Amino acid sequence: MIAAFRQKHPDHPSRRNVYTRLAVAVAMLMGLLVLPVASPADPPPSALPSWNDGEAKAAIVDFVERVTYVAGPDYVAVPDRIAVFDNDGTLCSEQPSSIQLAFVRDRVKLLAPQHPEWKEKEPFASLLKDNLAGVAASGEKGIAELVMATHAGMTTETFRKIVRDWFATARQPRFDRPYTEITYLPMRELLDYLRANDFKTYIVSGGGIEFMRPMTEEMYGIPPEQVIGSSIATKYELEGDTPVLMREPRIDFIDDGPGKPVGINTFIGRRPIFVAGNSDGDYEMMRWITAASGPHFGMIVHHTDGEREWAYDRRSDVGRLDKALNEAPQRGWLLVDMKADWRRIFDFAE
Amino acid sequence: MIAAFRQKHPDHPSRRNVYTRLAVAVAMLMGLLVLPVASPADPPPSALPSWNDGEAKAAIVDFVERVTYVAGPDYVAVPDRIAVFDNDGTLCSEQPSSIQLAFVRDRVKLLAPQHPEWKEKEPFASLLKDNLAGVAASGEKGIAELVMATHAGMTTETFRKIVRDWFATARQPRFDRPYTEITYLPMRELLDYLRANDFKTYIVSGGGIEFMRPMTEEMYGIPPEQVIGSSIATKYELEGDTPVLMREPRIDFIDDGPGKPVGINTFIGRRPIFVAGNSDGDYEMMRWITAASGPHFGMIVHHTDGEREWAYDRRSDVGRLDKALNEAPQRGWLLVDMKADWRRIFDFAE
């Protein structure tokens, strides 16, 4: 019957519906036949394989099973299954500097011949000498100047291309790997596991929204519209008769600390039920999300593995974790001990 | 086999997967058996029934079929199927005033006893006397004052409740219907049709983002995270030990005119391929979207039906359509003639 239909109408677009339905129906039936054979007491076979069995993994699985069990008291409807993740230090390494700072340094070096004045002007002078302490000494104002010099004065499409091109060649110095590969395998498994349970996964980062968006689909399976970050202003303009969005040298929104719950409310418009962070910059977001009366889950990635990654918390300049570490027990936040809880950290290292 | 499994493990969460799969597989097979019987030349049976057959409907269906036909030159992958809709005048009536202005008027009247000074102070004095011309005369500054007095100084959760409560009782004066019912049936069918073809549908409105979000799921099937609008600033605060987001009396973003493409870029991070508007406030968004090199579709709802709805364009204070009307032919924008193209406008009127 189907073959006859196909022969008769070889070009009709509705044909593809038939094949799609057929493929799905067959897959469904195969699933039906196979499912009851597996023991129902088994954990999901592929969930979180890079996590060691222990309290952390058990707590995550327990939460997901509770909110997805339709007959249970903690059931959460699919549209409310929103999970938010900090990026730097939570989904990928942020040492010795964030990926974005490495990008800024490379851009400044590339543009330096057109800006001879940078040799004498801070924070450019320090950055050109790879003196990160000197850059840090220039404070927020200095960082903003670096961002303006490297991120503004071009269209959004041009900036996107610059970012993509940089990621294609830049390498993380310690591991000598592309930056796309220094993501945490256990966290990517967690993202997959949540999505398999109908969670919508978001990034909520202090990093630049348009710096992250070109890469998050490839790195984490997260589409641009589910990335929230800091931004500079953009402006609608005509280039000749072509409308473009021009990136202006003016900070628009800082998505860090108390800005994170604000950003979530602006972009998502509802309170997530799952949050993962790793530093005090995530504190307010974690407080807000885990203050909900309904089911919620908060977790902190604690950098405890100096051998396979880095060990740092209270005294680190990058990703300082102090207040949130103190309050984790009383707030019921899960502390994930990277060394103990993660069997494997990166794809490229056993 | 399934019944046995069910009896043996009456409480196991994995049970529901079996039933879901069973239901879906049965539905798929039924679809398979039925599909080839229908003539493939028929249009999709339920698409756009409130649209008259004609050029407008044909143009929409043609576009959707082209971008979803996987073997065709205009195929667009699912993640890029983004459609954006203006709200007031595009998805619902905006005469004699926008829904939000009706809300502001009701709020001002309710709060007036606590603000005796409003009797003498513009634009409050005019609004209390239902003198909309007087309100308009106060300009943007006056409108902003009204917004601040009625939308700020409370938590996001309190405001959400105020909005929901208002919608539960307020009625549109001409039709004497709840405001949730003055949405255009043909446009809701269009939203459904696009979603059935794996489009993600967004609202991009000059209206307040937190005024729209509590109602858009019910009115249009659009979740809060797919609503982009104007906003006032919000701030993270502790009420006692409870984190809240407080609405501040300060404009944050105006999502109108050149702000619309900026808002889309901020919230979605990619260029939509489908846009619908009805006024010059949508002009820049339409220009930007329909300047793409790939497949794209722009349409304007033209208010031509003074009997069933309202007839207005170039000289209207509300929803003025002048520049975009002039340029529609040269830009390839579809002009939808409400009177000629829509068989039915509202659910409540035949």
Q: How many CB pairs under 8 A join A and B?
A: 146
Rounded Cα distance between A50 and A44, Å, is 14
The model's pLDDT over B208-261, given as tens digits with 9 standing for 90+, comes to: 999 999 999 999 999 999 999 999 999 999 999 999 999 999 999 999 999 999
For residues A18 and B35, is the Cβ–Cβ distance under 8 A?
yes
Residue-wise DSSP of A191-208:
HHHHHHTTPEEEEEEEEE
What pLDDT shows up at residue B141? 87
Q: At what angle do helices B55-68 and B185-196 cross, to 10 degrees?
A: 20
Is residue A5 over pLDDT 50?
no
Nearest to B261 among A31, A242, A243 (CB): A243
* Tokens 């072509």 -> residue: A242
Q: For residue B343, which phi and psi values (nearest 5 degrees)?
A: -65, -35
**Mean pLDDT of all residues in A247-274:** 96
Is residue A18 over pLDDT 90?
no
What pLDDT shows up at residue A317? 86
Q: How far is A350 from chain B (nearest CA, A)?
A: 32
The model's pLDDT over A63-86, given as tens digits with 9 standing for 90+, comes to: 999 999 999 999 999 999 999 999
What pLDDT shows up at residue A37? 39
Interface predicted TM-score of the whole assembly (ipTM), two decimals: 0.86
What pLDDT shows up at residue B9? 46
- As averages over each run of 10 residues, the pLDDT of chain B (350 residues) reads 44 46 51 42 70 97 97 97 98 95 95 95 94 86 90 96 98 97 98 98 97 98 98 97 96 96 98 98 98 97 98 94 98 98 94
| Interface probe with A: pick from B262, B288, B330, most Cβ of A within 10 Å | B262
Q: Does A168 touch chain B (CB under 8 A)?
A: no
CB contact under 8 A, A269 and B70: no
For residues A294 and A273, is the Cβ–Cβ distance under 8 A?
yes
Q: Does A265 touch chain B (CB under 8 A)?
A: yes
Nearest CA in chain B to A44: B14
| pLDDT band with cut points at 50, 70 and 90 for residue A46 | low
For residues A180 and A61, is the Cβ–Cβ distance under 8 A?
no
What pLDDT shows up at residue B25? 52
The model's pLDDT over A192-246, given as tens digits with 9 standing for 90+, comes to: 999 999 999 999 999 999 999 999 999 999 999 999 999 999 999 999 999 999 9
| pLDDT band with cut points at 50, 70 and 90 for residue A22 | low
CB contact under 8 A, A225 and B268: yes
**Mean pLDDT of all residues in A144-149:** 90
What pLDDT shows up at residue B22? 52
